[in-house]
Amino acid sequence: MTESVDHFYAAPACRHDVSDLAALAREALPSFPALHDPEGWRTSYRFGSGLHPRDNYLIAVRDGGEDGPLVGFIWVDAAMAVDYGVIEPWWCINAVAVAPAYRRAGHGRALVLTAVERARAIGVALIYGLSVRASVPFWEDLGFTVAADREPLVSDRPARRATGELARLDLDPETDHRWFVAYLQDPASADSVLAPKGYLARG
């Protein structure tokens, strides 16, 4: 599905977008080298329309049509399933970037809210990610809970693995990054949620 707002077109990204996605990542996400090489976009599966909580969700916005300049993108997946085999309905915002010429015009907010809406529609319980410090005000403006400097992200109760085992997660942020999280369902009714370590104590 393609959505047009004024002259901006948002649609699930595809291989056609690979060079521009890599170029924007090199410019806007210097601490994310895995996204800098177009070959990585061709060989690591990141495309998806967010049809279920284990799916990828990769949306690109272009200016003026499908061949117009890339305005921004968001890439979301079930990173805890990929990295730890955890099957809780959690989505990770791996990357969101807006080209400098288009910033502070609401595109970043629209990309995140589109992903949040999609997540809600398919039963994702929480959406989280790791932000560079400079972008913390952006996540706070969107209502995300942002962890303190060096505060780990933990599972409040054991999380289920695909193998049937339970896992307790306790993940330090990368240097100069901070975790952020938003709950799309009541955390108390979930089997397990991710939270900054002090979040539950802080209430």
Interface with ligand COA (CB under 6 A): 28-29, 95-98, 103-109, 131-132, 135, 137-138, 141
The DSSP annotation for 68-89 comes to SPEEEEEEEE-HHHHHH-B-SS
Q: How far is the CB of 36 from ligand COA (least distance, A)?
A: 13
Cβ neighbours for 96, distance < 8 A, ≥ 6 positions apart: 72, 73, 74, 75, 108, 111, 112
For ligand COA, give the closer residue by CB, 90 or 192: 90
Residue 47 or 102 with smaller CB distance to ligand COA: 102
In whole angstroms, how close is the CB of 162 to ligand COA at the nearest point? 27
Distance of closest approach, residue 33 Cβ to ligand COA, in angstroms = 14
Distance CA 203, CA 102 (A): 37
Residue nearest to ligand COA (CB): 108
3 beta partners: 10
Please report how close the Cβ of residue 55 comes to ligand COA at its closest, in angstroms: 19
Distance of alpha carbon 154 from alpha carbon 145, whole angstroms = 14
- Least distance (Å) from ligand COA to the CB of residue 186? 26
Q: Give the Cα separation of 56 and 38 in Å (integer).
A: 18
- The number of C-alpha atoms within 13 Å of 6 and in the hemisphere containing its C-beta is 7
Residue among 115 and 159 whose Cβ is closer to ligand COA: 115
Tell me whether residue 141 or residue 165 sits nearer to ligand COA (CB atom): 141
Q: Which is nearer to ligand COA, 56 or 131 (CB)?
A: 131
